[in-house]
Amino acid sequence: MLPLFWDSRGPLVEHYMPRGTTITSASNCDLLKNHMKPAIRSKRRGLLNTSVLLQHDNARPHTARATAATIEDLHFECLPHPLYLPDLAPFGLPHLWAT
């Protein structure tokens, strides 16, 4: 598994995890504290003095209490991710493809 964090200037963290590993709240917190923050500090100097906006999907490891607490402790701002609504996604409606 390859968790990848990036910004508009390119990749910040590429963290290769052993085969069969899954992302849990604990591993997500570890990635944020021990990999993401140091990468921002070294690759995007001064960014930690302003505001880090973090956007992820609504997967359980990303929305867990421990993860939310870690994001708050790191002073990152978490942007809300819209819910998946298939009735609003035109690519999911084949009848709209017909011309």
pLDDT in tens, 23-69: 899 999 999 999 989 998 888 888 877 778 888 888 888 889 999 99
Q: Give the integer Cα–Cα distance in Å for 90 and 92.
A: 5
What is the percent of the chain where pLDDT is above 70? 83
Judged on CB neighbours under 10 Å (0-12, 13-18, 19+), 95 is exposed
pTM of the model: 0.71
